[in-house]
Copies of this chain bind each other. A is one copy, B any other.
Amino acid sequence: MDHKKKLDELKNRLREVNDLRSAGAVLAWDQMTYMPEGGAPARGRQMATMARIAQEKLIDPAIGKLLDDLRPHEESLPFDDDDASLVRVARRDYERATRVPPEFMARFNEHQVESYQAWATARPADDFAKTTPHLEKTLDFSRELADYFPGYDHIADPLIDFADTGMKAASVRALFADLRAAQVPVVQAILAQEPANDSCIRRHFPEREQMAFCEDVVRAIGYDFQRGRLDKTHHPFTITFSTGDVRITTRVREDYLGECLFSNIHEAGHALYEQGSDPKYDGTPLAGGASAGVHESQSRLWENIVGRSRGFWEFFLPKLKKVFPDQLRGVSLDAFHRAINKVERSLIRTDADEVTYNLHIMLRFEFELALLEGSLAVRDLPEAWRERFQADLGIAPPDDKDGVLQDVHWYDGTIGGVFQGYTLGNVMGAQFYQAALKAHPEIPQEIGRGKFDTLHAWLVENIYRHGRKYTAPELVRRVTGADISITPYIQYLRAKYGDLYTL
């Protein structure tokens, strides 16, 4: 068999894995949108079966053999050749899947289900103690998982690498230390001032009109409804079945305009990335996004840098006023811009504004490292959480429900590698946007005229079309000519909030 045939064989096998996962994704989407209650028990089983068979197909030694056989061919090609990249990325996926014994994953998954169930009742009851034995076991499992990838510098490295390939505890820690040093003074300066008045977005906004407006907004920024759709769910999400079918969901609060609007733009940002992946990668390991962080860079770029900019509302506020003339009568562009960028102390990560958000993430990241290192015990988490909150944000949660119990992540997944992507996303988003502005300084003016295609096309060309070909560090270097850096983000924050507050 020559390498052409072997490559085809590899692609066919991986396409099968992809189809099983895509089918699982359709089942998940249906479960969260239209499935009747009675469908739940069988659906859980069906999704588990899809995931299991996909995994069995992926770890087939025949794939390992093909990857070995293709190595000389891969090495004869340039790094960014499509075939070379496919083999490289497939090998990474294959090694991740095969190094971990299936019986370990089965035990871990079983534990995760139990742990999630404990959390689901413990959170409303504000009963952290109930989750302690589960979290301790999760910590053991997470360490064991990491140990299947020996040779790490820090035990969190393999876990971080799963979500943000190419990043390590040390590199993220260093980046976050700098970010913290630069960002905390901005937060403190703002929080010392009179808070913005956001009453204009907290009036009564009927759902139907909100949904129609949001649909117009995401269409305007480039979300393609021929290759996607928008539905309502309890939690907003983006899900991909193929480059031609990338769906988003949202939720609506009639007493708060920000919910539907910004969650829509956020999810549309993820979806633009997935819709922009080169169609020829469809069904291969190269389809999708580079990393959790790069994905988040796109949702946050569109949501915050574009969607909460003054220029964006220069164009959209008059349209929004036509939809809600009574609610928004007399609201100036400045007042609206201040309202949607209100900065405040908040307990809940998912409600946090753009300025304080990274503080929520960084404390979680540091706790993950400390837990894995053994320098923090699970039982001491609530107290550490309160102390750190007080120090960073000037408030402490009155209970664990809105403290350490608020996120599902540690309770249904691993401890380690879970949170860094959100802040890496903010950082890389600003860095990418700066590069786009360097190439096209007219972008902010265009946004003010409701024109998004220059920015969108630049992102497609430089980021989206490459799918999973490059890791985040590779992509950032390729796009910006530099390593991941906090400077553009801090510059962006200082400039934007310097206009809104006295810094």
Tell me the A residues contacting B by CB distance below 8 Å: 15-16, 19-20, 22-24, 26-27, 29-30, 34-43, 45-46, 49-50, 53, 224-229, 231, 241-245, 247, 282-283
Query: In the complex, are the beta carbons of B49 and A19 less than 8 A apart?
Result: yes
Instruction: Tell me if B45 and A229 are in contact (CB < 8 A).
Output: no
A35 contacts across to B, CB distance below 8 A: 245
B242 touches A36 (CB 8 A): no
Distance of A273 from chain B, by nearest CB (Å)? 16
**Are A228 and B38 in contact (CB-based, < 8 A)?**
yes
- Contact of B241 with A41 in the complex, beta carbons under 8 Å: no
Chain B contacts for A20, CB-based, 8 A: 49-50, 53
Known: A16-B49, A26-B26. A36 touches B227 (CB 8 A): yes
Contact B38 A244 (CB under 8 A): yes
The 6 closest A-B pairs by CB, nearest first: A39-B245, A42-B242, A38-B227, A38-B244, A19-B49, A19-B46
CB-CB under 8 A from A229, the residues of chain B are 34, 36
Chain B residues closer than 8 Å to A224, beta-carbon distance: 38
Indicate if the CB atoms of B49 and A226 lie closer than 8 Å: no
Q: A19-B50, A27-B23, A46-B23 are in contact. Are A37 and B242 (CB under 8 A)?
A: no
Chain B residues lying within 8 Å of A40, measured Cβ to Cβ, are 244
By beta carbon, the residue of chain B nearest A16 is B49
**Contacting residue for A282 out of B42, B241, B282, CB 8 A:** B42
Q: A23-B50, A42-B283, A46-B241 are in contact. Are A228 and B30 (CB under 8 A)?
A: no
Q: Are B245 and A38 touching (Cβ within 8 A)? A: yes
CA A227 – CA B36 in complex, angstroms?
Answer: 6
User: Which residues in B have their C-beta under 8 angstroms from that of A244?
Assistant: 36, 38-42
A228 touches B36 (CB 8 A): yes
